[in-house]
Amino acid sequence: MARGSPELLEPASSAGFGVDVHEIRERESGGPSALLGGLAAELRTGLRNAAERMPGTELVPGFAVGDTSLVSEDLDEAMLASSLTHLTAVSGANCALVVGAISWVLAGLGAGRRLRPLLAAAALGLFVTVVGPDASVQRAAVMAAVILVSGFGGKRANALPALGLAMLVLLLADPWQALQPGFALSVVATAGILLMAAPIADRLRSLVRLPAAFALPVSVALAAQLACGPLLLLLQPGIPAVGVVANAIAAPAAPLGTGLGLVSALLLQTAPALGDVALFCAGLPARWVAATARVSAELPAGRWHWPGGWNGALLLVACQTALLLAWALRHGHIGLPGGARATRRRPWRAAPHVPLRVRLASTALSGLGLGTIAAITLLAPSAARLSVPHDWAVVACDVGQGDGLLLRDPDLPDEVMLVDTGDDPALIGACLERFGVDRIALAVLSHDDGDHVGALPALLDRIDAALIAPAVRGEETARREVVRRLEAAQIPYRIGRRGLRSSGAAGPAWEVLAPAAGRAPPDTNSASLVMRVAVGRARVLLLGDTGAEEQRELLRSGTELAAEVIKVAHHGSRDQDPGLPAAVGAEWALVSVGTGNGYGHPVPETLAALVDVGARPLRTDLHGSIALVALAGGGLEPWVERAEGDASEARP
């Protein structure tokens, strides 16, 4: 029993009100639902605890009951990069496995045609109870139930109407699911598999002589990728090309891991020794999937360049439509206006006739679709890399609402300092690739906020050494997430304090100006490292997310602050000391800020204070990634990814 107070939920929540729980009391007795819920919790907990004790089985609870709490962050990132995350989230494949396995066993035991669907539906209900009411599980369970009911009535089961009815039932129960990406991806992937998997498998078997055992997994992965591609671009730019291969390799192992994991969960409650044996066996396909994810994530060109957002999604839909129309024309499924149409292939008939007009139209559509895809995935990235300056000294990467800066001495182009990572691995990775950065001599993590260190795990294999902010008041250094990540990756690090300087090692010369040693800052922003870095003849002042109080203390300390470039603190927020820009005297002011951010950054007052002392603001929300190029006679010249807003003012 729980006690609490009601609170109004967000408009897009699944309910109008929720309960802020203040107290939970265990009830002495409960009905059948409480008993069943407790048994389901014991099955999930037992499997998780056993997998925690047995190395190599961390994916098994995810396969069997959707519990991914044991999956390490690096494995989770590898699963995401290789498009295998869905294997650890219980969905339609798991429901199909349960229904199919129960039906097969019942058929072997001689159960009748009407009894099998009833018992399979009961098993499906128990499985959903154990797993929990996840949206994808609900969708798959409702669809499977509709198919079972249609089979019970003696009619041929039809998956597409079942999918439509499942969508209708779930949206009537919770209309806000229509706004959830997971729901849309689940439905679209299922529809794509139902419509395209079988024809693709037939083509793979007939054209490339691929054995049926391999053709089906490849066709399922390819059908799901084609269907979900435009929606995925709304969430993240780029096409995960490696996902099709990774799924084809890993998908056959997932059902085996799921089945053995479910058997293990049941046996662990009654015969723990046998449950451990089943869990060990389930760990073998789990290791296969994990190895596939890690290898696939490291493959070159695993993610193809493609613009994100609605423009990218519509462009991909247009290319796919052009190719689909070309195929339909070529095989006689549709004709041209005026009646020109290819004859369809028929058994024991002459070879199909394709009129010249149809061949020309089909070739034009194929060339348009394939040419556009090649231009965007191959030519556009190459042109982008060629367009950037190669003698840059400072780069403000466009990482959204966060910080990610590259600094180097142009005379030592391979010794690069990275200051913060932003929170999007794809954005910071694209910036590093575009500006030709493979290794990072020193990673400076100005403070521990997610918009400054969130993408660190994706860069650990490139970093040689790190400099981090001090721990805040009441925090143990060893417990900090940043520290644990660096230590796990065996990256040497130092904690920055005022007076710490570069020791002549590789990379630009730098000095930490704040915070002072001997006291713990009260919060992460005030713990931000303030540094001055020499990049050739120019100096860069980095302010992290410091506020007016920290900036006033910096001014009172009498520290030399003069620099040619200033990285504006806290994305141009209002919390700035108005006297700092004059003390710095910078020519260029870099504002790393996200487009349309909800904070109103940068505020006009902060920009005006910079302009009043002669600094020229450059903003990543307007200009994209920004580079400052060292001139032969001294000074810096800006290069911007896109010329918008104040870009004209950025020209000397």
> What is the structure's pLDDT at 373?
92
The pLDDT confidence band at residue 348, using thresholds 50, 70 and 90, is: low
Q: Dihedrals φ, ψ of 49, to 5°?
A: -65, -40
Q: Which of 13-27, 339-353, 420-434, 541-555 has the highest mean pLDDT?
A: 541-555
> What is the structure's pLDDT at 35?
63
Averaged pLDDT, 15-22: 66
pTM of the model: 0.67
Averaged pLDDT, 156-168: 73
> What is the structure's pLDDT at 151?
56
Q: Which range has the worst mean pLDDT, 10-24, 236-250, 536-550, 601-615? A: 10-24
Asked if residues 355 and 338 have their Cβ atoms less than 8 Å apart, the reply is no
- Give the residue carrying structure tokens 């919390």: 575
> What is the structure's pLDDT at 9?
64
Q: Which range has the worst mean pLDDT, 249-253, 312-316, 324-328, 511-515? A: 249-253
> What is the structure's pLDDT at 41?
76
Asked if residues 223 and 195 have their Cβ atoms less than 8 Å apart, the reply is yes
> What is the structure's pLDDT at 651?
37
Q: Which amino acid is at 503?
A: S
The pLDDT confidence band at residue 212, using thresholds 50, 70 and 90, is: confident
Name the residue ranges covered by the structural domains of the chain. Answer: 309-385, 388-650
Instruction: Tell me how far apart the alpha carbons of residues 515 and 594 are, in angstroms, rounded to a whole number.
Output: 26
Averaged pLDDT, 20-31: 58
Averaged pLDDT, 205-234: 81
What value does the mean pLDDT of the chain take? 83
> What is the structure's pLDDT at 649?
42
Asked if residues 428 and 422 have their Cβ atoms less than 8 Å apart, the reply is yes
Give 636 or 143, the one with higher predicted confidence: 636
Check whether 222 has a pLDDT greater than 60: yes
> What is the structure's pLDDT at 257?
85
Instruction: Tell me how far apart the alpha carbons of residues 112 and 96 are, in angstroms, rounded to a whole number.
Output: 20
> What is the structure's pLDDT at 446?
95
The CATH superfamily assigned to 388-650 is Ribonuclease Z/Hydroxyacylglutathione hydrolase-like (3.60.15.10)
> What is the structure's pLDDT at 652?
33
Q: Which range has the worst mean pLDDT, 194-208, 486-500, 514-528, 633-647? A: 633-647
The pLDDT confidence band at residue 393, using thresholds 50, 70 and 90, is: very high
Q: Dihedrals φ, ψ of 45, to 5°?
A: -65, -40
> What is the structure's pLDDT at 437?
92
> What is the structure's pLDDT at 347?
61
Instruction: Tell me how far apart the alpha carbons of residues 151 and 119 are, in angstroms, rounded to a whole number.
Output: 13
The pLDDT confidence band at residue 646, using thresholds 50, 70 and 90, is: very low
Instruction: Tell me how far apart the alpha carbons of residues 244 and 248 are, in angstroms, rounded to a whole number.
Output: 6
> What is the structure's pLDDT at 386?
78
> What is the structure's pLDDT at 331?
83
Instruction: Tell me how far apart the alpha carbons of residues 443 and 451 are, in angstroms, rounded to a whole number.
Output: 15
The model's pLDDT over 446-463, given as tens digits with 9 standing for 90+, comes to 999 999 999 998 899 899
Averaged pLDDT, 175-200: 80
